[in-house]
Amino acid sequence: MWWALLFILACVVPTEYHYGYSISYPEHVFVIGKPFKSADWETMPSIRVCKDTGISVRRINHATSFWRKLGYKFDHVSYDTSNMCAPARYGEIVISLPDGSFDNTKIASTRTYTRTSTGKIVKAIIFIMPKDARRLRVIEHEMGHAIGWKHYNKKFHIMHSNWIMGGYDDFGLENGD
């Protein structure tokens, strides 16, 4: 059936990660062994920051250099100053204010879109409020999800699911590790 093939080729599924103050043990959390990446990107992602998130250039540079040091590459970083920040397009990581589905007890969440036919990430959205965007490590952590990393509950690790117990430990996150 040609239409079924078209559907499969076009099919992109979302995965969502939430960041909060309590330890969560959903299927996305790894505690032992090495951190686990659910998918790689189809392209080199560009980053678009919606201005109304209040994220400074310095903040975003800090977050991108954290991941660049680990061997990840990003295309250009841009600021979207429009009132209605456009949804993520193909090849983009967008950092935006939360949409209607956001859980207010959380600090931030990231949604990655994976193409089912290739298993590769094609776009990602990080949802965050300005008050939480100022917190240490949050953008770095969410960018980790946008890259494809799942939670990893080693104390002081950047991908720890509980913000309070996290840190800048980057064990196991090197590109191609």
Which residues would be at the binding site for Zn ion (CB under 5 A)? 17, 19
Least separation in angstroms between residue 177's CB and Zn ion is 19
Least separation in angstroms between residue 10's CB and Zn ion is 28
**In terms of CB distance, is 70 or 79 closer to Zn ion?**
70
Q: Is 93 in contact with 48 (CB distance < 8 Å)?
A: yes
- Rounded-to-integer distance, Cα 4 and Cα 12, Å: 14
- Rounded-to-integer distance, Cα 1 and Cα 3, Å: 6
**In terms of CB distance, is 21 or 90 closer to Zn ion?**
21
The residue of the chain with the least Cβ separation from Zn ion equals 19
Q: Is 29 in contact with 151 (CB distance < 8 Å)?
A: yes
Q: Burial letters for 145-164: b for 16+ Cβ neighbours within 10 Å, e otherwise?
A: bbbbbbbbbbeebbbbbebe
**In terms of CB distance, is 29 or 77 closer to Zn ion?**
29
Least separation in angstroms between residue 89's CB and Zn ion is 23
Least separation in angstroms between residue 142's CB and Zn ion is 7
What is the DSSP pairing of strand 12-19 with strand 108-115? antiparallel
Tokens of 170: 């980057």
Question: Amino acid identity, residue 56?
Answer: S
Least separation in angstroms between residue 9's CB and Zn ion is 30
**In terms of CB distance, is 90 or 168 closer to Zn ion?**
168
**In terms of CB distance, is 90 or 136 closer to Zn ion?**
136
